[in-house]
Amino acid sequence: MKNDPLHGQIHKTAELISKAGKVVVFTGAGVSTESGIPDFRSPGGLWSKFDPDDFTIERFLYSPETRKRQWKFLLEGGGFAQARPNAAHKAIAWLETIGKLTCVITQNVDDLHQKAGNSPEKVYELHGNMKWLKCLNCFERYPLEDLLGRFRGTEEVPSCIRCQGILKPDVIFFGESLPEQTLKDATYAASNCDLLIVIGSSLVVYPAAYIPLYAKGGGAKLVIINKTETSYDANADVVIHSGAGEVMDGIVAVLQKLEISCA
């Protein structure tokens, strides 16, 4: 019904977007789950397949067995290559096409924003991207799909073709710092936007969860779209406790009715 609270929240968010010159979107696992990628803690998620200690940089470096388990996981589809963008990803990409979106800041590592159509240079991946493996010695990067094709059906764990160094998924492990330049760019974008829309993040993983504080500190409006409450809800201008795809579809529909033109 058009008069229900959800419709009102969606309409208010659409109006905030229409009035904003610089919109930044911050996404977490709640966006990816609608593409069939479970979050770390849910049934079928990463922690049901691994000891979390396997994702410390120390364990990865010094345990060949840990590296073997992770490579087997990637061979079995753990790199998310088959996942496809959902309605939320597509809506966020559409915001770029109409000239509203400054950038996407994401905690996700699945490459789905780029697959949906967002420009790679406008996607700030705070935790890296699973589509790449990186040599820890010479820093050469390899597309995961290429190495999966080459080593599938063997027991061998690949090493760097150039220097035989250890290959690691190009994502942030426990004990590693976030990529400095990416974090710097994301912080600047959030601090200088007119509107920050948080989608599918519980905002508990730091330092990424500081992003809403940077936005509010810069005078931006804040919208939070997440199925569960967050500690930032009290500071938000709009809070929507619902699924990302449904909400973003609704926002796009309202914006189209408002006849938002490309900037």
Known catalytic residues are 127
Q: Which long-range contacts (CB under 8 A, 24 or more apart) does 48-51 make?
A: 49/73, 49/78
Tell me the C-alpha distance between 224 and 222, whole Å: 7
Distances (CA, A) of 61 to 67, 131, 169: 8, 20, 12
Please list, in sequence order, all residues whose beta carbon lies within 8 angstroms of the beta carbon of residue 177, skipping any fewer than 6 positions away: none
Q: How many CA atoms lie within 13 A of 191 on its CB side?
A: 8
